[in-house]
Amino acid sequence: MSNQLILPAGARIRVLVVDDSVVIRKLVTQALSEDSQIEVVGAAANGKIALQRISQINPDVITLDVEMPEMDGLETLRHLRVEFPKLRVIMFSTLTERGATTTLEALSLGASDYIAKAANVGSLDVSLRRLRDDLIPKIKQFFLAPPVPQSRPSAAPVRPGLAAPAKIARRRVIAIACSTGGPNALSAIIPDFPADLPAPIVLVQHMPALFTRLLAERLESRSKIKVREARGGEELAPAMAWVAPGDHHLVVTRHGTRVVTALNREPPENSCRPAADVLFRSVADIYGGEVVAVILTGMGQDGFHGIEILKSHGAHVIAQDEPSSVVWGMPGAVVKGGLADEVAPLEQVSRRILRQLG
């Protein structure tokens, strides 16, 4: 069963806005009210009030500020996960080290996603536009439109033009992509790898700058391998993972006999920078099919076209399954496109990767 909920025909997504700032509550309410599929059903000035109101108004999603009087966001989240475990929670985070650290803690406690508040949002119109652009897709990603009845079953997808690749003798690198739900998915996979992991890892997690460094530090503190935010110029080596830094594309390139990381700020792809497609193309250029490519939980389809290229070279593709994904956008696109060699629940992904490394 999918973690995404099917929205009944004609129904709207019910949102509760929780923030101690009257201005922010009004701003979020106004931004969300402009979308016909979303209904703001209430607001609360702190977590204590929010917990009291949930049973009365029955929201589908809560937007939750971190710093509030009486009961802050993290404490509220702990209560929510016990009392209302299926409720979707989107944290409001600040673009500071403290805000990023708190956001990662919130995600580990069960927050579904987050948006980052800008320090200076400018005019009211700019603020509203940014909220619409950032928050509305985050809310809608958890819901599916009602299924359209089909007169007969759909045929299995066919990938034209993908010739059968030569058999690959060994896999020399692991390439991973994820978005919504990714930090927790990575926390379930990376610590499972042994200290003598025989291949390097390169990965894209859609996150802003600063957040990606703290994510790498958090993963390394729990793992037997080294995990670093890439800075460019580092040589890929076994038992090391390189995380694409926020607002930069990560690629791999050859420098003499070495394969090294490189960063660039070329335009976003799939509205993302870093983008998985950019990383996967470069991995295909350097390693051909000697790759284990892994697509984890996430919104959208970033990574799909890169996987097409890797697959054409003979890479082995593992996609996270739908029930264990927070959002089955990225892995779902790969599976529906007929590109996945394996579709695995999260708890089996690390084992499947290690099997490919022999």
Catalytic annotation, residues: 179, 206, 302
> Does a cis peptide bond (omega within 30 degrees of 0) precede residue 160?
no
Tokens standing for 101? 């650290």
Beta bridge partners, 16, equal 42, 62
Q: Count the neighbouring beta carbons within 10 Å of the beta carbon of residue 1.
A: 5
Q: What is the dihedral of CA 349, 309, 182, 44, to 10 degrees?
A: -140
- CB-CB contact of 211 with 103 (8 Å): yes
β pairing state of 249-255 and 258-264:
antiparallel
Cβ-defined contacts of 27-31 (< 8 Å, 24+): 27/124, 27/127, 27/128, 27/131, 28/63, 28/131, 28/135, 30/128, 31/128, 31/131, 31/132, 31/135, 31/136
